[in-house]
Each structure stands twice: as C-alpha cells, then as structure tokens.
Structure 1
C-alpha cells in the first residue's frame, strides 16, 4: 500500500518541533485523541504540556459517586495518564463540564497558558462538527477548540489583547508557529504510533471512572488506530493517529 495522496505520514524522529501544548475540553480527551502521538513526541525529547479546560465533573458512569468528588477524581486520573506518556505538566482551568462556551474569559485563560508555556505547536480538538463521528463533537469540545484557535490567533501574540496578561502578570506575547487539530474529518497529517499503542491504552486505563467495560474500550481504540493507519496507506498491522495542520506563524 502507498500513502494516501495529500496525507503526510509523520514517523518517529521526523518531527522537528521541540515544545507542544495540548488543549482539550475534558480529562481523557487527549488520551483518546492522541496519547500515542504524545508518547512518540516525549520519547523524542519534545516537551509536551497539557491544558485541560474542565474537570469533567459531568462524566462517569457510577451514579453512587458524589458529583462533588468528580473533579478531584478526574484530575488525579488525568495526571496519572499524563505520566504514562511522559508528560509532567498538566494545567487545569476548572471550567464547568457541559456548560462551556468560547468566551473572552476562556480565550484569555488559554492565552495565559500559551504565553507561559511558549510552545512551537498547539494541538486542540476540531472546532468544526464531525458528522461521521458525532461523539468527537461534544459541545464542550467545539467550544474549547474555538477558544483555543482564537487564543493561538490572534490573542496570545497580540500585546493589546487581554492587556492584563502583560500589564499585570508580565506575560509577553507569543507566536505559535503551528496549530494541529484532532478529531477532524479533513486530516493531512498522520503519526505512526504503532510502537506506542500499549502506552496509549495504559493512559486510557487510568481514567477508571469513565470505563465500565475496559476490554471493549481497548478493542474500540485499537480498531480506530488500525482504520486510521489503513486510510493513510500504511501496511497492515500498523496504528496511527490523524490531525490537520494549520500554519499560523
């Protein structure tokens, strides 16, 4: 099989980026979307940081768990999952799960993290609804993605946007050179994560509050990875995660 025309397969060691910030709506979003890619990057010496917008307090399957406990549970799960793929820095913004909007306040808070981390690349969910896989288009995903895109351009680079970040917090503007979108219907980048599948699954297993049937979850994820690899023209038995890259620098 040959690689699909117009789709660039990025293999381990071929990505020159040194710092990445991943912004997602909920704990576990990054692990479903790209934990294999994150593990590939951290193994190559890339500094990867997470910004999780909500605490996922509307998630879970066990009604006996008090809702007030979920933020603590899900933060701990995400921190444990991050360590499985080599990530140490996880920032939680603490917005309410299920009620997210791409507000100016959220744009400011994501811009703050961008200016603090100063990444070469930001990765987020797609702000466009996917009709082929509707569960990737949770309203919180769309809202967090839209706010992140606005934070990348123009907010984080503009000294006059959210002036308190510069004037009160001393955070200089930062230009993110590249934005990658996950969960998009129009990918143009595929990362071969065959060697990282087990670490991705280990990260997902950390989110115990979300998986009533771990075996079914793992089978589903393996199927997604194999389908993505096949669509990219990779040989049978390979696994891949897909993105759309947008030049912003």
Structure 2
C-alpha cells in the first residue's frame, strides 16, 4: 500500500450526496487531521432522493448540495464539486470518464476513493446502479485516461491539464475488503456528517445506533479492540 506519508492529496468520487459520508467520512476526517488536501467530486446532485418529496427535482438538488457541503465541513473538507448528471440515470460513458479525468488532472491526487464497480451480493445497498457506473468510470479515468497524455487531448489543448498518474484507489461498498481504517477518534465527526443529510435520514428511527452497530462490526472483522469503529475498503494499486 501507499505509505501514509506519501498521501498529500485525496480525491473522493461518488454518485450522490451522502455516499462519501457512509463510506469514508471517518477516514477523510483522519486525512484532514494530518494536513492532507481532500476534494469531493459528486457526479449527481441527488435530485431523485428524499423521503418526503415536498420539492421538485431542482429544489431537491439544491437542498442536497447544501447538505453535502455542510457534511463536508463536519470533517474539514471545503472543496466540494458537482458534475450535475441526473440522479438514477448514470451510465458508464466516455463523457463521464472525461469529466472525472478532468478533475483528476486538476486536483492531481495521490489517492482516489470511489465506489466498487461490482455488485455486492452480500449487501445490496452499496450496489445502486449509479454507484457501479461511477466506480467503473472513475477506475477507467484513473487508468488509463488521466495518465495518458493522448486521451482527451482537448484537456491539454484547451484547458492546460497535463496527464496525471493516481498511485492508488480505495473502493467502498464491495464484498471483498482488504483494508480497514480505525475511525474511532473520528466517529463523532462521521455521525455529524451523516446527520447533515436531513432530507435522507431524519425519518430513520435509531439511525445513530444503526450506524454504530455497522461500523463496530467492521472494526470487529478487522480485529480492532472492542468499542472501536472502522471503515472498510478494497485497495487497488495502479502501478
């Protein structure tokens, strides 16, 4: 794995507002504590979400962008970007690969965190079609697109964005994690981030207890002491 001392910039690519907070907000908070620059890139505005739909899709999108920015601040992230694709309709495409490659070349991250592109048959929730489409496109953007100077030449010609090689990818939501991060000291910030998504979670009874149980189970699987919490990833080297 990439040594922590060599991770200076992280780009998190997700499909919807709240995805990063379920999957990686604790790890993000710990990165920020170490002085790492973290950028969030959301492919959609989450306009098809929400429990009680009193808003149209445009209003919901605005609300969820605001909720995500609030959640990001809870873990110390201020650079939050949106691509504006339609929630629920994301498919792998050259256009999406180009748009993610653009941000990779702008941010120049050492590490990208994104969705696992494969369906999880043990737990269907992480396998939303948008998640799988974004995860696959992000991996394609990491390799080969962003590092290939001949891919999307307009990014160099028109925007001055030279090729960039991401050194490692962490995938969330898969069925075969191989890396666990002890997020115990950041759990309160993760919970605050998740509770910022009021339109999505305010109606869920026992939400905090559910989260603590889920992330305590990951810690137990990782072999961390009782009372600890963890996030799980599959690490993909890109060399």
TM-score interval (norm. to shorter): over 0.9
**Distance between the aligned counterparts of 2:149 and 2:219, measured in 1?**
41
Runs of 4+ off more than 3 Å: none
User: Secondary structure at 2:199's aligned position in 1?
Assistant: helix
User: Which of 82, 93, 112 in structure 2 is aligned with 1:92?
Assistant: 82
Preserved contact between residue 56 and residue 71 of structure 1 (Cα < 8 Å): yes
Query: Which runs of no fewer than 5 residues in structure 2 stay unpaired?
Result: none
Number of the residue aligned with 2:92:
102
Q: Go from structure 1 to structure 2 and tell me whether the alpha carbon gap of 1:215 and 1:35 turns closer, same or farther (over 3 Å shift).
A: farther
Structure 2 counterpart of 1:55: 45
Q: 1:228, 1:241 → 2: CA distance? A: 6
Counterparts of 1:69-80 in structure 2 under 5 Å?
A: 69-80=59-70
Find the counterpart in structure 1 of residue 156 from structure 2.
166
Partner of 2:104: 114
Contact 2:87 2:130 in 1 (8 A): yes
Q: 3-state DSSP class of the match of 2:27? A: helix
CA distance in 1, matches of 2:30, 2:60: 30
* TM-score relative to the length of structure 1: 0.93
Give yes or no for contact 2:51–2:203 (8 Å, CA) kept in 1: no
Distance 1:94 1:171 in 2: 21
Residues 205 and 214 in structure 1, CA contact (< 8 A), matched pair in contact too: no
CA contact (8 A) 1:159 1:172 kept: yes
**What's the TM-score, normalizing by structure 2?**
0.97
Counterpart for residue 4 of structure 1: none
* Aligned-pair CA distance for 1:215: 4.9
TM-aligned CA deviation for residue 65 of structure 1: 2.0
Deviates more, 1:140-149 or 1:184-193: 184-193
Question: Any unmatched runs of 5+ in structure 1?
Answer: 1-7
C-alpha distance in structure 1 between counterparts of 2:70 and 2:38, whole Å: 15
Checking the alignment, whether the CA contact within 8 Å between 1:191 and 1:242 is kept in structure 2 is: yes
Provide, for residues 121-149 of structure 1, a one-character-per-residue CA deviation record: whole Å limited to 9, x for no partner: 00101001101110100000000000000
CA deviation map 1:43-81 (0-9, x unaligned): 111111100000000000112222220111111110110
3-state DSSP of counterpart to 1:160: coil
C-alpha distance in 1 between matches for 2:170 and 2:209: 26
